[in-house]
Amino acid sequence: MPLSDALFVYLIIDWLARLAVLLAIVIRKPSTVAQAWMPLLLVFPILGNLLLLWGYRPFASARRRRRLTAARRQLKAARRRILMSRHCSPPELPAHLGRTAKLIENINMFPAVGGNSIELLVDYQEVIDRLVADIATARHHIHLTTYIFSDDAVGGQIINALQAAARRGVACRVLIDALGSYWWSRRVIRELRACGIEVRRALPVSITNMEALRPDLRNHRKLVVIDGKLGYIGSQNIVGAEQPDGRQNRELMVRVLGPVMLQIQSLFANDWFLESGELLSDPDLFPAEHSQGTVHAQLVAGGSEYRHFVMSFLLDAIVHAAQHSLVITTPYFVPDEALVLALESAAMRGVNVSLILPSKSDHRLVDLAQRSFFVRLLESGVAIHLYGGGFLHAKHVRVDDELSLVGSINIDLRSLKLNGEAGLLIYDRSFSSRLGAQERQYMAESQSLSLKDWRLRPSLQRLGENIARLFSPVL
């Protein structure tokens, strides 16, 4: 190519990048998101322009948009049903946390309900064994949503349990994410359907049927409903605990009994309708509520069927509400500027803020990007613990020994603003105490960072962290 032509192409690309920055500032909301795109657009104009055009908004076919509209109506109907429940009463909370619960109800539809029993499960194999045992007790139906459903030994245990349930007449429905389970889905689906189990892929990526053109928008939820009365929710997928590098996954799940299961059932029914078009309206799927304990709980879910960034609202509200202590455990920590400022503010007003993160995740770029935030947080007084006893994949938050959040939610753009996620807000001091004991065990197996030592890290590492942070809008 002649030099003059090459210069002309370069100038076109340069001005396209400038135009994209202008469009990002003028069009994208909120402004902090636009600002986050600017370095990427300026440093990598071609890649940045392509990513901006691709990621400007979630793409869905006309059929899926109609289903999303219908799904919102279904969620509103479920909310009306739950509001009439005799168990639908506000938890006994300090005023500042009570306002948080009301905020989440207003943007997420589901209110707090009492009468629940919630058991904390942290042993990986115990979760699988308990789930298999509970599936064996099912009499009417089993509903399961997971991001990863592997065909390994652990997946085989769940497949066998579901097949046994189907043979005795239990209706089984399984929803697996099309991308998260991509490598195993054909075999898993074949084995499940062979005995009459209904299986759907969530958010299939296909240009031919125009259902989805964004493979980064996923259903990341992990939940189980058995007979509408018992269930599981948390961070654990259906896959073996061992990572490719030999480390063992550390997860955290809760086993739930009580009226809040109707909310989890409503969420599954909503997801099932979005993927299959089938409305799960059988009254037997929503059995009469019976008190199973004394715990107040509230389902919180985010995704394209909600009009707000529910998880982002939730995290910001929790951080601002904290008065004494705040502990966040997450495998991926790439926050937006608003959340960083909220954490800094909480620490500087005297809240004991702690982050528990894996010393090494399974994404090198995310590792580098999240470490670029450490100096700011350490300077403001946030304690950072890097867990070294395996790959810490658990996702939970604890506030003031009063409120806990357990679920599938990571602290990154994907979870807070894009993916389908689910968590359980638990308003109970006893549960908070048990969760706190688990967090202290994590910390005992962690390296606690000091600002002085962190500042001594190699310059090359700092450079890598700052470069990785440029990609934070798309991580």
Which stretches of 329-380 are DSSP H helices? Answer: 337-348, 364-371, 374-380
DSSP codes, 189-219:
HHHHHTTT-EEEEES--BSSS-SBS-TT--B
> Which of 157, 121, 367, 333 lies closest to 235, judged by CA?
121
Q: Are 276 and 249 in contact (CB under 8 A)?
A: no
Q: Which of 134, 177, 227, 336 is catalytic?
A: 227
Q: Are 430 and 369 in contact (CB under 8 A)?
A: no
- By the 8 A CB rule, do 261 and 183 touch? no
- Distance, in Å, from the CA atom of 471 to the CA atom of 71, rounded to the nearest integer, reads 33
Q: Which residues contact 455 (CB under 8 A, 6 or more apart)?
A: 375
Q: In what helix (H) or strand (E) does residue 40 lie, and over which residues does it extend?
A: helix 31-43
CA distance between the termini of the chain: 36
Which of 370, 339, 342, 338 has the alpha carbon at shortest distance from 357?
A: 370
Catalytic: 452?
no
- Known catalytic membership, residue 400: yes
Taken as a whole, the chain contains a residue count of 475
Tell me which residue has tokens 């960034």: 309
d(CA 346, CA 448): 19
E-strand stretches of 100-146 = 113-121, 141-146
User: Quick one: how many helices (H) and strands (E) in the chain?
Assistant: 17, 17
Residue tagged active-site, from 395, 396, 412, 428: 395
- The reply to whether 393 belongs to the active site is yes
| 296 noted as active-site residue | no
- Residue 71 CB contacts under 8 Å (≥ 6 apart), including other chains: 270, 273, 274, 305
The one catalytic residue among 87, 222, 229, 296: 222
Tokens of 368: 């580098």
Q: Which of 392, 374, 389, 356 is CA-nearest to residue 453?
A: 374
CA distance 219 to 176: 8
317, amino acid identity: A
**Residue of 265, 272, 220 lying closest to 408 (CA atoms):** 220
Strands 223-226, 352-358: pairing kind: unpaired
Among candidate residues 141, 229, 385, 393, the one labeled active-site is 393
Neighbours of 191 (CB within 10 A): 18
Catalytic residue among 87, 141, 143, 220: 220
Catalytic residue among 271, 400, 412, 428: 400
Helix axes 45-55, 3-27, angle to 10 degrees: 40
Show the CA angle centred on residue 383, arms to residues 295 and 387, nearest 5°.
80
Q: Is 227 a catalytic residue?
A: yes
Active site residues: 220, 222, 227, 393, 395, 400
